[in-house]
Amino acid sequence: MNQRAMMQLKKMQKDMMDAQKRIAETVFTGTAGGGMVEVKMTGEHEVKSVKIDPEAFESKDDIEMIEDTIVAAFNDAIKQIEAETEKSLGGFGSMGGLGGLF
C-alpha cells in the first residue's frame, strides 16, 4: 500500500471515529402521544430521562396507554439514533475497496 493510500485510510478511520464519538455523545429526544411522553437517550442507547405530561392523562386507568406511549417514545428515539448513525457512518460502509484506495 502506498503512502498516499495509507494517509487516506488513516483520515477515513479518524473521521469515522469522530462521527461515532459525536453520535455517542448526542442526546436524542423521542416523543409520542403528541408530546405526552418524552424520552431522552444518548447515541449509545443510555436512557437519560423519561417525562410524562401529567395533564395528558385523566385517571390511573390510563396506565396501559401510558405504557404504550412510553414504548413508542423509546422507539422514536432509537429510530433517530439509527438515522443519525446511517447518515454519519453509512458512507464508510459503502466505499467499496476502501474508497478506491486499492
What pLDDT, in 10s, does the model give residues 4-52? Answer: 888 988 998 899 899 999 999 999 999 998 888 899 999 998 899 999 8
Amino acid (1-letter code) at residue 59: S
Domain assignment of residue 12, yes or no: no
Q: How many domains does the chain have?
A: 1
Nine cell digits for residue 96: 467499496
Interval 83-98: pLDDT, tens:
988 898 887 765 544 4
Domain assignment of residue 35, yes or no: yes
Domain assignment of residue 57, yes or no: yes
**CATH code: domain of residue 55:** 3.30.1310.10
Q: Could you say which DSSP state residue 101 is in?
A: T
**Residue range(s) defining the domain that contains residue 63:** 24-89
Three-state DSSP at 28 gives strand
